[in-house]
Amino acid sequence: MPALRRLARGFRGVSPSVVTELLADEVHEVRLIALILMVGEFDRASADGRAEWVQCYRDGIAAGRVNNWDLVDSSARQILGAWCLARGDDAELLDYARRESLWDRRVGIIGTHAYLWVGEASATLAVAPLVIDDRRDLIQKALGWMLREMGKRVSRESLTAYLDERAPELGRTALSYAVEHLPPEQRAHYRSLR
């Protein structure tokens, strides 16, 4: 990934149409470079420019081009999550989390990371019930990761309050990820609730 990021630095100022072409490529690493470029351009863009980049991202998701965990994880928070946070509306993340597609659902979950980065748990707590029953490994890992981040970036109390209520419903993988940074006795307690 560092080599791809270095390569992408040489293409600053690239247009959405070029990024769309790169995102359509069959080669995974080319699509990853496209998303790295998109994140950078989104960060540097004006409000109108950001709207164009978000639409470019949505189009890539709809076309099935954001179709691997690393593609989602390197872009969902930085683009769609940041967009929703700035607008004060997590409805689009909830919409993605409700879809059947593994990658769409993961975008909805990982997008909530933008909220967690600023100490806000509401989006993660809104998405969690939509995906809690999805036992696909990459959904479980994403949910557990965001819950762990909630404990780290918002408060440990927010995590334990959630686990007190919902730990029995979490899949083994999600629970394992969520409790990773808790003291051993708390980890054992929550695992015993399953």
99 CB contacts (<8 Å, ≥6 apart)?
105, 108
CA-based nearest residue to 80, from 119, 110, 56, 111: 111
Residue type, 29: E
The pTM score is 0.94
Cβ burial of 189 (10 Å; 0-12, 13-18, 19+) is: middle
pLDDT digits (tens, 9 = 90+) for 15-63: 999 999 999 999 999 999 999 999 999 999 999 999 999 999 999 999 9
Per residue in 137-169, pLDDT tens? 999 999 999 999 999 999 999 999 999 999 999
